[in-house]
Amino acid sequence: MPVEFPPVHVPRPYALPQTPLAARVECPMPDGASIVAWTYAPAGVTDEPGTPYGIDLTVPPVLMLHGNGEEHGIFGPVIDAVCASGRSVIAVDSRAQGASSRGTAPLSYELMADDAVEVCARLGVPQVHVLGFSDGGILGLLLARDWGAHVLSLTALGANLTPAGLPKEDTDWMAFAAAENRRWAEEGHEGAELEDGTPVPSPAESARIAELLQLMVDNPQIDAASLAGISCPVTVMVGEFDEILPEETDRIVAAIPRAVKVVEPGVDHNLPKMAPAAVARELLACVARNDRRHGRRGAELPGDLAVCRIPVSGLWAEKLDELYRRVDAEPGTSGWVQDVWPPVGMARELLAAGAYWGAFESGAVRDGRPADDAALLGAVAVDRNADMGNGRAPGHGSGLGGPSWKRRAKKTVACWHLLAVDPAARGRRVADALICAGALAARELDAKVVRLNTNVANVPANALYASRGLTRHRPVWLPYPGLPLPGWSNLWELEL
């Protein structure tokens, strides 16, 4: 009796990236999976301090997410085009695909979107432009919806909201192929080949294929109305002969405010393989609609502001507490939570040690001291406690390395803590004033360099330090219990 093999998929050939690889990074997940990210950078940009993993935060990178059963290399010419434009690329091998492992958590698109967020945290990247193809397009929709403050634009290729967005014959075939692969996973053997010599997947590989196919049979289940809150520019692109039903594409476009629909003539669903130049064109056009670059310049003290040390006595401890209450209550990506960060008593201890400097209206400071009734517009504490941990705190990122900056004598290093701007004073360059104050305070300590950390999810803080000439080092595992933040923190350094 002849052996019945499962359907064997032979992928269409595609061009791999020609841009040199900047870094290959393995990202551990809480369930034991390892998600592999590949970074590519513009010519001359390498993996070094200032551009760890080949990523310069002054030009937010493009995050690329491939389709079902594929790997990141399908975007080869698109990766080359993005890097040629002066922007780095983070290309992810999705869970159980390419070089990434499976883990133990139930497989879902939501889980793979969380993986992409964790990859960005591991690389220290707070904001990205997203390009997603097929399953990756689904992930892009979830990221733009649920991680919106961090997604600058989305180009979604051949995405669907539910399995009903595909022809029934397609989902029926996927269900059949999934069942056949499950059967082969149980009954099959290693080393089987078709008559023409094409290898048949091993039982273990068939189990993986079956799970990925079943994912498309049952999912996604995205409510179109849930996409109404997406605020970044979105391009929804399909091929003229795409398997995605036209009405499904129209449903996505109608659900997202100001989304742009692009139909590429003469091609089917395999846009990255068949029309990479068109994909690159539409991606870069979408990026240009929200191209937030953070040009570097030195911090200068605004003429209407003054900085000085905050007095230890008087009501200044209460004013500091109120400043942090206002910051904690402000919506945004800082992740600070009242009575968790800053920890209760920390600001008062730093103040008692004479470590605090503040920003004030220029007329409120006389002879290096603020008036008793002066409004505290922002504050930063400066001391020699530059301990950022050793990367061994508990959690899935533990043990992947401590700070990579060079060792210096403790007396030459200063550290900034709890830098914060009153939300009511934003737009007045108070952060610049605090950087000037922090540098002045560090020099008073005879320091040669300032060091600090900020969580990778804090968009404004990371943009500020990148744009003011601080050097970014590789992030370290530094979780803050009780804060809704990833466990990774960027390390920043300022030479004085």
pLDDT of the residue at 138: 98
Secondary structure E strands in 252-355:
260-264, 305-309
Q: Is residue 244 part of a domain?
A: yes
Residues 359 and 464 in one domain: yes
Assign 161 a pLDDT band (cuts: 50, 70, 90): very high
Please state, rounded to an integer, the average pLDDT across all residues of the chain.
Answer: 97
**Half-sphere CA count of 12, side-chain side, radius 13 A:** 9
Average pLDDT rounded to a whole number, residues 156-160:
98
What confidence category does residue 195 fall into, taking pLDDT thresholds of 50, 70 and 90?
A: confident
Same domain, 368 and 448: yes
Of 128, 100, 122, the closest CA to residue 52 belongs to 122
Pairing of strands 62-65, 128-133: parallel
State percent of the chain over pLDDT 70.
100
Domain of residue 365, residue span: 305-495
Q: What is the average pLDDT across 415-436?
A: 97
> Which CATH number does the domain housing residue 235 bear?
3.40.50.1820
Kindly state the average pLDDT of the residues 4-13. 90
Residue 306 CA to its chain's centroid (Å): 35
- Residue 140 predicted with pLDDT over 90: yes
pLDDT in the model for residue 2: 66
Q: Which of 223, 258, 288 is the last residue of a domain?
A: 288
State the Cα angle at 316 between 314 and 322, rounded to 5°. 140
Same domain, residue pair 324 and 274: no
Among candidate residues 288, 320, 350, the one where a domain is terminated: 288
**Residue 110 is assigned to a structural domain of this protein:** yes
Query: How high is the pLDDT of residue 12?
Result: 87
In this structure, the answer to whether residues 109 and 253 fall within a common structural domain is yes
pLDDT digits (tens, 9 = 90+) for 364-394: 999 999 999 999 999 999 999 999 999 999 9
Q: Are residues 255 and 342 in the same domain?
A: no
200: in domain: no
Whether residue 187 is contained in a domain is answered as no
Q: What is the pLDDT of residues 286-326, one digit of tens each?
A: 999 999 999 999 999 999 999 999 999 999 999 999 999 99
Q: Is the domain of 259 the same as that of 316?
A: no
124 and 235 belong to one structural domain: yes
Q: Using omega within 30 degrees of 0 as the cis cutoff, is the peptide bond preceding 220 cis?
A: yes
Q: In this structure, are 415 and 453 located in the same domain?
A: yes
240 exposure class (CB count in 10 Å sphere: 0-12, 13-18, 19+): exposed
Calpha distance 459→484 (Å, rounded): 14
DSSP helix, strand, coil percent of the chain (3-state; round to 5):
35, 20, 45
Q: Is residue 176 part of a domain?
A: no
- Is residue 254's pLDDT more than 70? yes
Residue 172: inside a domain: no
My answer on whether 270 and 371 are in the same domain is no
Q: Does pLDDT of 1 surpass 60?
A: no
CATH number of domain containing 442: 3.40.630.30
* pLDDT exceeds 90 at position 478: yes
pLDDT of residue 186: 96
73-104 tens-digit pLDDT: 999 999 999 999 999 999 999 999 999 999 99
Structural domain contains residue 15? no
Based on the fold, state whether residues 254 and 364 are members of the same structural domain. no
For the residues 441-467, what does the mean pLDDT come to? 97
pTM: predicted TM-score of the whole model, two decimal places: 0.97
> In total, how many domains does the chain have?
2
Indicate whether 347 pLDDT > 60. Answer: yes
What is the CA angle 348-349-350, rounded to 5?
Answer: 90
449 and 372 in a common domain: yes
Please say whether the beta carbons of 261 and 253 come within 8 A: yes
Where residue 18 falls among pLDDT bands split at 50, 70, 90?
very high
482 and 364 within one domain: yes
- Taking only the tens place, the pLDDT of each residue in 32-86 is 999 999 999 999 999 999 999 999 999 999 999 999 999 999 999 999 999 999 9
Residue 5 within a domain: no
